[in-house]
């Protein structure tokens, strides 16, 4: 392997930045900063655990919390921080930046006058950062009330702390507590999977395509919907290059690989990872969502196979079928030996390096941000040890992940008032059953983005009573009814497939397919597919499981 093959030209600056960050973290660790942050998390968790132990079996606890809401006693009990911080509701207009940002994401790519301007990642960042700054200024100078702190440890910050401390608390909750772990996971899965190439041209039989989609749906839960989509869409398109009727294949690929396949592990889809960051057990999704995952994806695969075998494949031209049968190349996988173990490393980092939980079999809690630093080191190893030739063949670049990073820095800040308001109004929204949570979360995930939508209704569900339901205890937070959590998780993941904007990989796959010559449906044309196919499937899922 030549030096040129070892890394692409664009890898060098990224490797240097990674080296600087790793060095900075080592220096911070030498000074004890991440260790101190972890100790703060552990101490706060023990304090709140003691509070919950004292009150969990008290039948009057809920009434007492409501009285705290009414009285506004912001400093009586930090253990009831979620309740206390919600005592003063932000103004409804505080969610305007959030609405504007999500509206920009949904609408600006659709108009010819704004489409090209919006394609620039700096422009996306200017919009997201500007609206995020407006939200921070609202909390600093307009909002009057306490703010719940999540970073570095749980606390409640009163207005007497001053506007800058309030602003920093909101910024820390959004960026330091959730955005950094979120974007580092996506960055690691995206970059490492970009070093693996599957090439070849098989016979594009209906069963071949169905197998491709099925494998992608399984991989989506373990290397993320983004990783699985980027890994398999190109070989699927190469296999179908001789066929004319390919649009439906890409659409079903989006349904399964980019969305419905990714709900078995928190790394599968961004909404579930945000739930993991909020305290959901790493393996809960594997056990609780396995049956609806298997049912939904199996049903979609059956529908696709029948559609392709009975409708599309028989109508291909004879000359195209002959070319497809004769012009074949076996599948070839490159880069797996290096990057496969690195992807396993990402999974292990998420499962084991949570600072709020002791390493299994020990009393040691991982240092703050050690998980993200480990993921960054794995990215560096992929860039240094992997083949630049493979990445160039994949047409790998950082544009898609930079787009996500630019937009979500604003989304995570702008959604803070919405979360705050829902913390106050949860019981009054009328969403009081798992089926309602499934459809409301899913419906908004389809037209907005499923990650922030999941967070909004995750917070709402903690405020809604479900008598007799099994509860999931969350560190430093109110417990959440498990039937609600199941409904929210499935709604966000599954119904993100309803539109191109429901989940990040949807647009990426569409762009790759169009560059390969596949005529993809418009925004509303895609929705005809999703309404006709996914609508009945999800109606059946909600009837069977909720």
Output the pLDDT for position 63: 44
pLDDT of residue 500: 81
Q: Which residue, 218, 219, 229, is CA-closest to 254? A: 229
Give Cα separations from 78 to 39, 47, 52, 73, 471 (angstroms).
17, 9, 11, 11, 22
Cβ distance 320 to 242 under 8 Å? yes
What's the pLDDT tens digit per position in 8-24? 446 889 999 999 999 99
The number of angstroms, rounded, from the C-alpha of 200 to the middle of its chain's C-alpha atoms is 30
Contacting residues for 470 by C-beta, under 8 A, at least 6 apart = 481, 482, 483
Residue 66: pLDDT band with limits 50, 70, 90: very low
Reported as a single tens digit per residue, the pLDDT across 120-147 is 999 999 999 999 999 999 999 999 889 9
Question: Which of 268, 212, 253 lies closest to 493, judged by CA?
Answer: 268
Does residue 76 register a pLDDT over 70? no
Q: Is residue 330 within a helix (H) or strand (E), and if so which, with residue range?
A: strand 329-334
Q: What is the mean pLDDT of the chain?
A: 85
Q: What is the pLDDT of residue 426?
A: 66
Q: CA 204 to CA 202: how far, in whole Å?
A: 6
Mean pLDDT value across residues 31-60: 70
For 480, the enclosing helix (H) or strand (E) is strand 480-481
More confident residue, 119 or 422: 119
pTM: 0.81
Highest mean pLDDT among 112-116, 196-200, 486-490: 486-490
Reduce the DSSP state of residue 405 to 3 states and report it.
helix
Direct distance between the N- and C-terminal alpha carbons of the chain, in angstroms, rounded to an integer: 55
**What is residue 51's predicted lDDT score, i.e. its pLDDT?**
54
Q: Does residue 425 have a pLDDT over 80?
A: no
For tokens 């929210």, the residue is 488
Residue 119: per-residue pLDDT:
84
Structure confidence by residue, pLDDT tens digits, 216-254 = 999 999 988 988 998 898 899 989 988 888 999 999 999
**Of 271, 294, 298, 267, which Cα lies nearest the Cα of 283?**
267
């Amino acid at each position: 392997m030549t030096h040129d093959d070892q890394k692409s030209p664009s890898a060098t600056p990224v490797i240097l930045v990674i080296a600087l960050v790793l060095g900075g973290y080592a220096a911070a660790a030498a000074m004890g900063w991440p260790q101190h942050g972890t100790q703060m998390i552990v101490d706060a968790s023990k304090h709140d655990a003691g509070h919950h132990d004292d009150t969990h079996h008290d039948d009057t606890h809920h009434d007492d919390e409501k009285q705290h809401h009414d009285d506004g006693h912001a400093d009586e009990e930090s253990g009831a921080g979620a309740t206390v911080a919600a005592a003063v509701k932000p103004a409804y207009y505080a969610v305007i930046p959030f609405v504007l940002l999500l509206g920009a994401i949904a609408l600006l790519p659709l108009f010819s006058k704004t489409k090209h301007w919006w394609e620039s990642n700096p422009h996306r960042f200017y919009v997201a950062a500007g609206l995020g700054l407006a939200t921070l200024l609202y909390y600093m100078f307009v909002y009057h009330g306490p703010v719940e702190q999540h970073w570095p440890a749980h606390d409640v910050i009163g207005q007497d702390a001053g506007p800058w401390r309030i602003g920093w608390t909101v910024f820390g909750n959004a960026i330091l507590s959730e955005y950094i772990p979120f974007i580092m996971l996506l960055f690691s899965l995206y970059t490492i999977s970009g070093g693996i190439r599957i090439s070849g041209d098989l016979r594009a039989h209906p069963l071949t395509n169905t197998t491709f989609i099925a494998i992608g749906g399984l991989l989506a839960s373990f290397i993320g919907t983004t990783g699985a989509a980027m890994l398999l869409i190109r070989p699927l398109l190469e296999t179908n290059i001789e066929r004319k009727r390919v649009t439906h294949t890409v659409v079903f690929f989006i349904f399964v690989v980019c969305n419905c396949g990714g709900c078995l592990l928190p790394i599968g889809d961004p909404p579930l990872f945000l739930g993991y960051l909020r305290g959901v057990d790493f393996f809960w999704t594997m056990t609780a969502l396995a049956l609806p995952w298997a049912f939904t994806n199996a049903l979609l695969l059956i529908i696709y196979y029948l559609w392709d075998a009975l409708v599309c494949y028989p109508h291909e031209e004879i000359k195209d079928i002959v070319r497809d049968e004769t012009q074949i190349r076996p599948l070839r996988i490159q880069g797996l030996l290096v990057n496969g173990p690195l992807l396993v490393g990402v999974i292990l980092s998420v499962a084991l390096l949570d600072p709020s939980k002791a390493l299994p079999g020990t009393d040691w809690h991982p240092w703050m941000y050690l998980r993200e630093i480990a993921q960054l080191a794995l990215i560096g190893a992929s860039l240094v040890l992997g083949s630049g030739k493979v990445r160039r063949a994949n047409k790998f670049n950082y544009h898609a992940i930079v787009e996500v990073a630019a937009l979500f820095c604003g989304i995570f800040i702008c959604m803070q008032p919405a979360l705050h308001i829902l913390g106050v109004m949860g019981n009054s929204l009328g969403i009081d059953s798992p089926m309602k949570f499934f459809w409301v979360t899913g419906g908004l995930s389809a037209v907005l983005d499923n990650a922030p939508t999941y967070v909004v209704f995750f917070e709402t569900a903690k405020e809604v009573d479900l008598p007799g339901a099994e509860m999931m205890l969350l560190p430093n937070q109110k417990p959440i009814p498990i039937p609600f959590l199941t409904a929210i998780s499935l709604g966000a993941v599954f119904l993100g497939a309803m539109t191109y904007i429901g989940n990040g990989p949807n647009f990426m796959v569409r762009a790759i397919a169009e560059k390969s010559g596949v005529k993809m449906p418009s925004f509303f044309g895609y929705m005809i597919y999703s309404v006709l196919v996914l609508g009945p499937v999800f109606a059946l899922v909600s009837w069977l499981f909720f």
